[in-house]
Each structure stands twice: as C-alpha cells, then as structure tokens.
Structure 1
Amino acid sequence: MAESGRCRKRNWTELPDELTAAILSRLGVVEILESAQKVCMKWRKISKDPLFWRKIDMRNDGDLDDWDYVSMFRHVVDRSSGNVVDINIEHFGTDKLLTFITESASTIRRIRLFSCDEVSDKGLSRMASELQLLEELDISLCAGISHEAVKMVGRSCPLLKSFKFNKEWCRFSDDESDSDSDEYGSDFDDSDDDYAHAPFAHAPVFHAPVGHARVRKDDNADALAIAGTMQDLHHLQLYGNKLTNDGLRKILDCCPHLESLDLRLCFNLNMGIDLETRCAERIKRLWLPHDSIEGKEFTARSDGYCFKWIELPDNVTMSILSRLGTIDILESAQKVCMKWRKICKELKWNTIDMRNDSAPDITFDLDKMCRHVVDLSCGNLVNVNVEDFISDELLEYITDSSSGIRRLRLVCSYYISDEGLIEVASKLPLLEDLDISLCGNLSHKPVKVLGHSCPLLKSFKLNKQWHKYSDNFFEEIIDDEGPWSKDDDALAIAGTMHGLYHLQLFGNQLTNDGLRAILDGCPHLESLDLRYCFNLNLEGDLGRRCTEQIKRLLLPKDSIAGYGFLPSTDWQPPRSPKYIIDKLFSWL
C-alpha cells in the first residue's frame, strides 16, 4: 500500500503500444532516432515498426552541420518498408533524394519540400511521374523549381487536391525586367480591366510595392501551369507569387472546385470589385495580398519587411485611411484587403479631397468619382476640395446634396462660370472658408454674391496669376453694371465680407484705393496676403496703416515660398549662375 500523501510514479512502459506509438509519432525523426528509441527496449521496438514510419517529419532549423540528415532520412525510409505516405523535408532535399523516395515507396500521398534549393525541375518532375497517388504537395521557397515542374506535377498526379507553391516576394528593378509593363489603368467603380499595378511601394527589395510594379512576361507562368493541369484542386496557396489579375482569372476559370485560396504577398494583383467579388463568392477561405501573415507555416525573409497593418485596431486603421485623398482611397486603399474595404465603406465621408496633378494619363472619371463620394456622404459633407475638373453641373450637384459645407476650395476650375457660382452661393449659408485659386473664367460678380450669401465667411482666398495689363485695359470692358476697374474684386470684398479674418489676394490687380476699401470694410482682418499685387504702392501712410492693423502681412515683393502655384503669366524661373556666364560669353 502506498504511503499516505505520496503519489504513485507513472510507468510509461505500461502504456499500450498503440498509445505509445501515437505519442512518439508526434516527435521529429531526429528526436526519435537520437533520443526516444534509446529510452527502453519497448520504445525501440515500436520505433522499428514499419507502420510507425508512415509519416517522416524532418523539420530542422537549417543548420545541416549538426546531423547527417540525408543518412537519417534514408534510414527511416528503409525502416518504413514502403509504407511511408507523408514526407516533410527541409533544407537538405536533392534530386537524388527524391529519386530514392520514389524507388522506395510509390504510395506517398503528401510531400512537403521547404527551402530545398538543390531540387530542380527535372528532379521534381521525375518524382511526380512516379507518384500518381499524391494528394498534397507543398513546395515552399525552393528556388530551383519553376512552372515547368508545376506542369509536370499537374499532369502526373491526377488525385492532387492541395498545392502550395510559396515563394519569396521580390520586386524586380526596372533594369532586371525583360518585358514591357502591362497597360495600367482603372476606374473608381472597380471595373475589372486588365491592369497589373500594385497599390503599395517598398523601400527594401523584399517589401510590398507602391505605385506601378513592372510586370514581367512570365509572371503568370505559374498560374497558367496550375490552371492548365490542376483542375481538381480544392486548396491552393501562392504566397509571394507574381501572378497578375489575368493569371488569377485563369485559375478561377479552370479550377472550379477551389475552396481555399491564399494570395498573401501577391503584390502584382490589383483586385477590382468584380474580381474580388468573384473570389469572395467562389472561395470559402480567401486571403488577399495584404492580409495578415500570422499563422503561416514558414518564415520568409520578406516577412521582416512587411508591417502587419491588417492587425491594427479598426479605429486606428480608419484614422490612418481618413488622411488619404479621395482618389487614393477609392483607387488603392479599399482594394488592399477585405478589412480595409469594409473600413473605407464605413468612413464618415464628410470630406472630399480630390487634388490631382492634371496628368494626361488619368483614366478614371473624376466627375463620376466625385458624385459617388457625394452620394456616400449622405448629405454630411463639410469640406470640399476639388482641382481642375469641377464644372457648374458638378458644383450644383454637390451643393444640392449637402447644405452644411463649411470649407470649399476650387483650384484651376476653368469649367466654372460666374453664373454657376452665383447659382450655388445661396446654398452655402454655413460656409466659413472659401478658396478660389486660378479660376480664370470668374470675375468679381460671384464674389459679391458670395459675400451676401455666406454671412459666416471668415477666410477667403482669391488667387490669380499676375499679369501686367495696360492702364486702361479694365475700363474698356463694359457690361450692364458699367466699365470694370482694377479694384472690382477689392470693392466686392469690402462691400460684402465684413466678418473676414483672413484674406489672400495673390496676384490681384487691386490698387491703393481698393486696399483702403478692404481695410475700411473688413475691420476684423488679422492676416492679409498681397504678394504679387504689383499695382500697390505701400511706401507711405497706407503701408503704415497695414502694418498697424494687420497682424500677419505679406507684401507684394515678399517671398512666394510655399505658395505652390505659378505666380505670374509673365514669370520665368531664375537662371543659374552658370547659364548667365555662358550667355555672357556667347555675346562676346
């Protein structure tokens, strides 16, 4: 009888053989051969049973100097007596070893090769031709394997249900590329055109790209090999592959039984709404290029460069995405992953920021995009910033949809007329900040109407490009209100915007009379920008009055650093000293 309070020691040798075998099978080959089988005669007997070696797992840390892994592997394959069905080889696999496998066992159903750089297309193809019962194949980070071997595997293994072909993501430099890039372009409504640009850029070579990643002619070779030979696949993992939208479409067309698809770090993909929706409807478990890499079964060098943005809390992600412009959100951010798409749809959309550089290669419809965001805002717009493309009709659509706009910025908007701006002025009763810059078709008339219609206006920018007109240029323009003058803008501001605190009149034609009217009519002015207003003469009393009344005053000849636009139609960039010297010598 055992002493009181003392536990009886467990005798592991008393466990049934099948239970002991189940426990030992969870160890790796090295642990079994170098430790477990040396514990006792019973464990040694179990480890010599051919059925015990149905699975051979030789995971290791890549340091092949510790053990003779090849000899160990051959030894346990021999022990299996042809019963092995599951093999996992890391780092030490070679073509000769694959040949040994096929000569020793033809009933293998699962093989995993990890970081086996000495395995070639020829070796893998030869092995595949002998393993017609293969159901699962994992080839991860094996640099010597190409699409040619993938084709042979597909043709030789009709029962294949799961295929993993994982690679290191590496963006080729332009010099390394041997083909012309695909045509780029998309539309804000996610129409699934043929394009292959990736949404995010990288600094190091193993990172996700931003902007346009050059597409090589063979980037879809793996995808086409899979689509052409593996029609019965249920599970596919292509971590770090360079396939494009075309390759993905081919896989979806030819592999109708796919249930899971892993596309993480496939940064050549730019999945529009149609392709993404098709994947979501067809595939039960889907990972997109920027989805989290947590839980992945291997570590790639590129993992260290890929920040796990997907794991940020939703509120933090929303705060980050809200700082992007409207075009960036619709054309890039919402296409990154399902989580970002959901967050983009949940944004409050109280701001439209559609800055653009008027690039001629823009293929999306900016007018349509803007109307889409106006609809998403559900009347909650407070901040509108539109450059270049806005028209009278679009401006009317915006103001009809949102009556609470507090800030409006129109830049280089040559499609807006006096009549169009006057028409919407009454729909902006809460407007506090108005910026009208380089809108060449607008005169002083809408300024007057805006002043009357927007009693809360605190900040106004009316910026133009300076041009030296003849003295009587404006007086020769006569309309139903009489002849124009250089001070029309200034008088409109002074007569209607008495609550202004900030005023910018870059490049305006106003004279001293117009400036006096502004100082009289806008007593609350704190900042006044008069740069490039060269009709002014501020050397006397008017200059002193400006200095005393205005806290922040910018004079006509002050620096234009930070202004951001071409200051004058007469302006030329300064010449370098070398240019001037060369010019002088050319005259000699």
Structure 2
Amino acid sequence: MGDKEEEGKSATGSNWADLTYVCLLNILSRLTLSQRWTGPMFVCKSWFSACKDPVLHSVFDLETHFHSLPELPRWWTPEFERRIDSMLRSVIEWSDGSLVEIKTRHCSDRAVSFAAERCPNLEVLSIKSCPNVTDDSVTRIAFRCSKLRELDISYCYEISHESLVVIGRNCPNLKVLKRNLMNGLHASQHVEIVPNEYLNACPQDGDKEASAIAKFMPNLEHLELRFSNLSARGLGLICEGCLNLECLDLSGCTNFTGRDIVNITSNLKNLKQIIKPNFYIPRSVFHTERYGHWQLYDERFQTDIFRI
C-alpha cells in the first residue's frame, strides 16, 4: 500500500482524512488549543488546513496551561518569548479578525501590536508576566480595540499609569482590570526563576495608577491591585471614581490599615467582595514601628489569599 493511501488512516483502517469538513471542524472545536497544536495539526494536510479555520480561533487561551504548571525559569528567556509570539501571531492570522479573547503570558510588544492591528473585536486581553510588553503596544490596543471589557496586565513592569489613562479614555466598556504585582514581601520565592533586574523594576507609582483608574475607568466592576504600593489617598480616589465596583482585591497592600479600608470603601454600595491584606510582617523584613498595626487588625482580615 502506498504512502498516500496510508495517510490519515487509523489503527482500525478507517480513513480519517475522508471526514467531511464540517464534521472535522466539529471534532476539532471540542479540543483545547494546546491539544490541537500537539496532535491534529500534524496528521495530514487536510487536517492542518482545518486547524487554521477562523471558526476555531475566536479564543486564544494559554493561561490554563501556564496556571497548571509551576513557574519555570525558561519561561523568562528570549527563546520562549519568541515561541509564544509565533504561536499568537499564527492564531491572529488564522482568526481573520474574529479573535475576541487572548490569554497568555511571556509575549512581547511585537505580538501585542500585531493583535491591535488584526483584532478589532478583541474583548479580553490577559498578558501576565510579559517583561517586554510596554506602553507602546498597550496604547495601540487602546486605540484599535475599543470593545475591550477585560484587561490583565499583572506583573508587566514596563507598562505604566499612562497606559491606564489611554485604555480608560478609549475603552468605555472596560469592566475588569487586573494590575497585580509580584509579592515584594517574600521576593525569595521568585529568585532563580524571574530575572533579578526584572524583580528590581517593580513599579513604584501606585497612587498615579490609582488616579488614572479613578478618573478614566468609572465603569469598573472588578479591580485587582495585589501588592500595589498605593496609599490610603490612592484607594480613596478609586472608591470615589469607581462607584460600580463589586469586587476589590487589595492583597498585600501595606500602606493602609484595615480601618482605613472599611472607612474608605463605605461608599461602594455595590461592593460584594473585598479581599484585604492579612498578614503580620516579620521584624526582619520591615520596621515594626511602621507596620506593627497589621498584627492588631489581622483577626479582621480574610485568610488564604496570598497566591501568586
């Protein structure tokens, strides 16, 4: 039997290559992105062609894959970033403008800018832990993807408050913002995984970011600011400007007390969940005179929330 006759045959002799295109798409749509990329794409030419159909590429979600594994040093290498960029760019091209959701990590400005050019209907953008995504590409997203309703730029230290201003001005449908920073209290958990220069580049302008959020994102319903260094003043601005907040995550924020939080958030009538800092900071890490109040308020705070 020739090679052509063998192509696409299963172990039972069935010729999978003869499936109708509609049936094949139905099967492929039931697989995850990673499953399609590690199997069906390499079966035969017709299957590879089907895997590129725009109907399969309204969502690009690698976050579930990252979330299921412990963080690895190789994720922070240029080689890995290029692989993620290549994969994302391919899906953007295949989507033919139908991509509405991107969830990944460790991509670069190049890929995000490409998404801005080709994905006018983008509604969800999650690009956590991207050391080479900057204000430049996020600004492009803001101007070209006005339907954006959810943005996660956690651990992206080259993105500043200026991006928040532009996003807020141009994306009125934004309901969810996640701007979490790495755990600065126990930075040792990132050592030998995250490059030291990146760890030391943690943004120090929490109140500027708070001001941008308060002024330009009035329709927010879900806001995460874990380990931000915003002050009570910054939190006050947010609570005055974002009256529709239903969920507020302040895990690891050390510049205000539990009493501050209660008083400042009292005007948020729609607030259903607030995650407060709940830890006692060791003497070896901070001055007790400045942070000793956390021990006093610890019993009032929620528990089990420190997971990065």
TM over 0.5: same fold? yes
Question: Please, which of 112, 121, 124 is the counterpart of residue 395 of structure 1?
Answer: 112
Structure 1 equivalent of residue 42 of structure 2 = 335
Q: Which runs of 5+ in 2 are unaligned?
A: 186-203, 279-301
Equivalent residues of 2:251, 2:275 under 8 A apart: yes
- For residues 328 and 562 of structure 1, the distance between their equivalents in structure 2, rounded to whole angstroms, comes to 31
> For residue 344 of structure 1, what is the aligned residue in structure 2?
51
Indicate the residue corresponding to 2:291 in structure 1.
none
Q: How does 1:258-337 map to 2 (within 5 A)?
A: 259=2, 283-288=3-8, 291=10, 293=12, 314=24, 316-321=26-31, 324-325=32-33, 327-336=34-43
DSSP 3-state at the match of 1:460: strand
**Counterpart secondary structure, 1:539:** helix
- Describe the SS at the equivalent of 1:400: helix
Q: Residue 543 of structure 1: CA displacement?
A: 6.0
Name which one, 1 or 2, has greater alpha-carbon Rg.
1
Contact 2:251–2:276 (8 Å) recurs in 1: yes
CA distance in 1, matches of 2:73, 2:6: 36
Tell me by how many angstroms 1:365 deviates. Answer: 3.0
Task: Decide which structure has greater helix share.
Answer: 2
Q: Does structure 2 retain, via aligned residues, the 8 Å contact 1:500–1:522? A: yes
Residue 555 of structure 1: aligned partner: 276
CA distance in 1, matches of 2:147, 2:52: 27
Give CA deviations for 1:327-378 in whole Å, capped at 9, x if unaligned.
Answer: 4422433224667545423352112223455563977833222222111111
Deviation at 1:394, TM superposition (A): 2.0
RMSD over aligned CA atoms reads 3.1
CA distance in structure 2 between the aligned counterparts of 1:549 and 1:345, rounded to whole angstroms:
43
1:375 alignment partner in structure 2: 93
SS at match of 2:219: coil
SS at match of 1:507: coil
The structural deviation recorded for 1:398 is 1.3
CA gap of 1:347–1:529, structure 2 versus 1, over 3 A, is same
Cα distance in structure 2, aligned partners of 1:545 and 1:339: 60
| Counterpart position of 2:212 | 492
RCO comparison, higher one (Cα < 8 Å, 6+): 2
Alpha-carbon distance between aligned partners in 2 of 1:288 and 1:515, rounded to the nearest angstrom:
60
Q: Which amino acid letter does the alignment assign opposite residue 351 of structure 1?
A: V
Residue identity (%):
25
CA distance in 1, matches of 2:127, 2:271: 26
Deviation at 1:423, TM superposition (A): 3.8
Question: Does structure 1 residue 353 correspond to structure 2 residue 61?
Answer: yes
Q: Distance in 1 between matches of 2:127 and 2:277?
A: 23
Per the alignment, residue 366 of structure 1 pairs with 84
Using the TM superposition, give the Cα deviation of residue 395 of structure 1 relative to its aligned residue in structure 2, in angstroms: 1.4
Contact 1:380/1:404, CA 8 A, preserved across alignment: yes
Distance 2:265 2:25 in 1: 51
Note the residue ranges of structure 1 that are not aligned, 5 or more in a row: 1-234, 236-258, 260-282, 297-309, 469-483, 566-588
- Contact 2:121 2:145 (C-alpha < 8 Å) held by counterparts: yes
Partner of 1:84: none
Q: CA deviation at 1:443?
A: 2.0
Q: For 1:423 and 1:345, locate their aligned partners in 2 and report how far apart those are by CA, in whole Å.
A: 26
Amino acid at match of 1:421: V
Q: Residues 546 and 399 (structure 1 numbering): CA distance in 2 closer, same or farther, change over 3 Å? A: same
Q: What secondary structure does 1:488 align onto?
A: helix
The 5-angstrom pairing of residues 24-423 of structure 1 reads: 235=1, 259=2, 283-288=3-8, 291=10, 293=12, 314=24, 316-321=26-31, 324-325=32-33, 327-336=34-43, 340-346=47-53, 348=55, 349-355=57-63, 356=66, 360=74, 365-388=83-106, 390-423=107-140
**Paired positions, count:** 251
What's the offset of the Cα at 1:295?
Answer: 6.9
SS in 1 for 2:151: strand
AA aligned opposite 1:427:
R
Letter aligned with residue 210 of structure 2: A
Q: How far apart, CA to CA, are the structure 1 residues paired with 2:122 and 2:103?
A: 11
Alignment correspondent of 2:178: 461
Q: Deviations over 1:98-137 (max 9, x none)?
A: xxxxxxxxxxxxxxxxxxxxxxxxxxxxxxxxxxxxxxxx
Q: 2:159 aligns with which of 439, 442, 463?
A: 442
2: distance between equivalents of 1:546 and 1:465?
29
1:449 deviates by 1.3
Relative to structure 1, is the Cα distance of residues 546 and 553 closer, same or farther in structure 2, using a 3 angstrom cutoff? farther
Deviations 1:147-187 (A, max 9, x none): xxxxxxxxxxxxxxxxxxxxxxxxxxxxxxxxxxxxxxxxx
CA distance in 1, matches of 2:246, 2:267: 10
- CA–CA separation in structure 2 for the residues paired with 1:420 and 1:288: 42
Q: 1:318, 1:347 within 8 Å by CA — same for their partners in 2? A: no
Deviation at 1:404, TM superposition (A): 1.0
Deviation at 1:399, TM superposition (A): 0.7
CA shift, 1:531, in A, is 1.0
What SS class does the counterpart of residue 467 from structure 1 fall into?
Answer: coil
8 A Cα contact 2:245 2:268, kept in partner: no
TM, length-normalised to structure 1:
0.39
Q: Deviations over 1:26-60 (max 9, x none)?
A: xxxxxxxxxxxxxxxxxxxxxxxxxxxxxxxxxxx
Query: CA separation in 2, counterparts of 1:527 and 1:552?
Result: 5
